[in-house]
Amino acid sequence: MSEDDATTDEQADADSDGADSGEGVVRRDRFAGGPAREFMSSLDADRRIFEADLAVDRAHTLMLAEQEIIEEDTAGEILAALDDIEEAVESEGYGAVLSEGEDVHEAIETAVIERVGPEGGRMHTARSRNDEVATCIRYRLREDVIAVLEAVAETREVLVEAAEEHSETLLPGYTHLQPAQPITVGFWLASYEAALARDASRLLDAFTRINESPLGAAAFAGTTFDVDRQHAAALLGFDGIVENAMDAVSTRDFLLETAGALSGLSVTLSGIAEDLVVYSNRGFVDLDDDYASTSSIMPQKKNPDSLELVRAVAGDAAGAHQALATTLTGLPRSYNRDLQRAGPHVWNVIDDVADAVDVAGGAIATAEWNEETCAAAAGEGFSTATGVADLLAQSGVPFRTAHEVVAVAAEDVAALEDDQTAGGAADPDAAIDVLDDAAHAVLGESITDAVEESALRSALDPTESVASRDSAGGPAPSAVEDAIESAKASLEDDLIAIVATRKGLEGAQERLESGVSEYV
């Protein structure tokens, strides 16, 4: 994926003559045999953009013919050669067919010239490998981004379905990994669906800037040929072009933006994974065997290995984002060979993130929640304390004073829990006695002078406590149901956008194939 000035017809003829003498078709090997040749080569790494390069070659060749820059017969021969190369790679393998050249672009052009003769070099008229590779990267990246978006949408569907099923399943809520307030499994699931929805939004937004074509910018200063950049872009399914030719070949900000969005997505996934690891440890959830493994020496163990790997992907994604930013920092404008090492940072992580999305979604879809264990744990640690303080405040006690009453009682309520053999929330009668003592100490009166005993019992009950928190976005089943409906609507909108984008690219591919068929 290296720099190359736009090639004229005369240059193509000269380059093909070089092929007969054993020199490179595109760049004569002035330093043949030196270690830099292999160091500079990206041919093996370019496997990922092989199909993209074929598409770009076809679109560019069609445009050249339609603009009468090259003859129709020549275009037909080039397009037929590209078909032959594609078939050969499918049957013989990439390395067997494309071995001549320092990158896939040169290798394909060399293979075309081998089949067509010197006229094959005309396919490179009015372009450089600078605009060619930039276009190929965008062409392939948008496919990968759509695939990730589809995977995220499926996982969001899983979260929504599970949240509906468990909108009333109690679960302890933690802050600082300490019991805080009772919530529900559905509430927890809905929180991650909301986060994934934002991750999807960032990727969809990044896609709009990926889907712009640099093709026709040539080396960096445009071309003297009467090219139709917009038509070539449309043949490849791009929404438009990167207007400024220097910007078109120089910028990799679309890679940086995508890497950032992937890093954010991986952080969300790491949170899901970590919570499931903790919940599994505490007996709240049983992971399916497909998402766990046993110890090689301790047969009783069931380890959440797959989720630990999901958690680790976030580090890889953050590293790739930082590495890419460092590579791009301080580069002078126009093409620099440093850019050859930019793409792999994103290629390496996008596959891992896509896999992590599938694993996280699969783990949730197949998980079994231990509802009795969750319900018992939901009341531990005097998790309903905030509800009692809220109740006192609603009766007219200043909240800070109400907070003090409950804080004074908290240690003794926790002791009541410790005295129980079955675990769970403290016996409500005993808890009310402790709260009454605290109220006398702080307020100078019985707690039942401030609130009804029935209301106090309700506040102490984890199920009732959750049900009372029905503010927008709260854990009450009614609030979770509202959140689920909003999530469904948001997901439907995103699915429509993803499907439309996929169909748009498929339609462009069909039009490109149709255009090629008129010449071949």
Enzyme catalytic residues: 176, 295
Cα distances (Å, whole numbers) of residue 13 to 100, 109, 119, 128: 18, 13, 7, 16
Tokens of 250: 């120089």
The DSSP letter of residue 397 is -
- Rounded to an integer, what distance in angstroms lies between the CA atom of residue 127 and that of residue 310? 42
| Beta-strand pair 240-241/212-213 | parallel
Distance of CA 256 to the CA centre of its chain: 13
Q: Residue 170: helix, strand or coil by DSSP? A: strand
CB 261 within 8 A of CB 141: no
CA distances from 25 to 10, 129, 175, 496 (A): 13, 13, 64, 46
| β-pairing verdict for 170-175 and 178-184 | antiparallel
Residue that is written with structure tokens 């744990």 in the block: 377
Closest by Cα among 347, 58, 80 to 215: 58
Six token digits for residue 59: 């679109």
Residue with tokens 């003297």: 224
Cα–Cα separations (whole angstroms), residue 267 to 160, 271, 276, 307, 316: 20, 6, 14, 13, 11
How many CA atoms does the CB half-sphere of 282 hold within 13 Å? Answer: 24
DSSP 248-268: HHH--HHHHHHHHHHHHHHHH
Whether 271 and 195 have beta carbons less than 8 Å apart is answered as yes
∠ CA 461-464-468, rounded to 5°: 130
Residues 285/307, Cβ–Cβ less than 8 Å: no
In order, the DSSP letters of 430-484 are HHHHHHHHHHHHHTSS-HHHHS-HHHHHHHHSHHHHHHH--STT-SSHHHHHHHH
Three-state DSSP at 20 gives: helix
Residues 370/372/373/374 CA torsion (nearest 10 deg):
80
Distance set, CA 165 to CA 160, 227, 239, 484 (Å)? 9, 58, 41, 11
Alpha-helical segments (H) within 166-304: 185-210, 229-235, 245-250, 253-281
